[in-house]
Structure 1
Amino acid sequence: MGKQKKTRKYATMKRMLSLRDQRLKEKDRLKPKKKEKTDPSALKEREVPQHPSCLFFQYNTQLGPPYHILVDTNFINFSIKAKLDLVQSMMDCLYAKCVPCITDCVLAEIEKLGQKYRVALRIAKDPRFERLPCTHKGTYADDCLVQRVTQHKCYIVATVDRDLKRRIRKIPGVPIMYISNHR
Structure 2
Amino acid sequence: MGKQKKARKYATMKRMLSLRDQRLKEKDRLKPKKKEKKDPSALKEREVPQHPSCLFFQYNTQLGPPYHILVDTNFINFSIKAKLDLVQSMMDCLYAKCIPCITDCVMAEIEKLGQKYRVALRIAKDPRFERLPCTHKGTYADDCLVQRVTQHKCYIVATVDRDLKRRIRKIPGVPIMYISNHRKLLQVNNNKKQPD
- The TM-score normalised by the length of structure 2 is 0.79
Aligned-partner SS, 2:144? helix
CA distance in structure 2 between the partners assigned to 1:143 and 1:23 by the alignment: 59
Runs of 4 or more, structure 1, over 3 Å off, are: 1-30, 37-43
**Pairing 1:167–2:130 present:** no
Aligned-partner SS, 1:178? strand
How big is the shift at 1:27?
4.0
CA distance in structure 1 between the partners assigned to 2:4 and 2:147 by the alignment: 64
Distance 1:7 1:69, change over 3 A: farther
Q: Which moved more, 1:8-17 or 1:86-95?
A: 8-17
Aligned-partner SS, 2:101? strand
Describe the superposition over 1:107-155 as per-residue Cα deviations: whole angstroms up to 9, x where unpaired: 1111111111100011111111111111222222111111111111110
CA distance in structure 2 between the partners assigned to 1:59 and 1:68 by the alignment: 17
How big is the shift at 1:7?
11
Higher relative contact order (CA 8 A, sep 6+): 1
Distance 1:102 1:16, change over 3 A: farther
Describe the superposition over 1:14-69 as per-residue Cα deviations: whole angstroms up to 9, x where unpaired: 87664434455544443321223335665432110110000011100111111110
CA contact (8 A) 1:110 1:121 kept: yes
Q: Which moved more, 1:64-73 or 1:32-41?
A: 32-41
Describe the superposition over 1:49-95 as per-residue Cα deviations: whole angstroms up to 9, x where unpaired: 11000001110011111111000011100111111111111111111
CA distance in structure 1 between the partners assigned to 2:112 and 2:6 by the alignment: 59
Aligned-partner SS, 2:179? coil
Q: Which moved more, 1:42-51 or 1:152-161?
A: 42-51
Q: Which moved more, 1:122-131 or 1:20-29?
A: 20-29
CA contact (8 A) 1:84 1:182 kept: no
Distance 1:65 1:3, change over 3 A: farther
Q: Which moved more, 1:102-111 or 1:29-38?
A: 29-38
CA distance in structure 2 between the partners assigned to 1:26 and 1:59 by the alignment: 63
Q: Which moved more, 1:29-38 or 1:89-98?
A: 29-38
Q: Which moved more, 1:105-114 or 1:169-178?
A: 105-114
Q: Which moved more, 1:140-149 or 1:21-30?
A: 21-30
| Match in the other structure for 1:83 | 83
Size of the alignment, in residue pairs? 183
Q: Which moved more, 1:42-51 or 1:60-69?
A: 42-51
CA distance in structure 2 between the partners assigned to 1:54 and 1:88 by the alignment: 28
Q: Which runs of 5+ in 2 are unaligned?
A: 184-196
Q: Which moved more, 1:3-12 or 1:89-98?
A: 3-12
Q: Which runs of 5+ in 1 are unaligned?
A: none
Aligned-partner SS, 1:69? strand
* Identity value in percent: 98
Distance 1:3 1:75, change over 3 A: farther
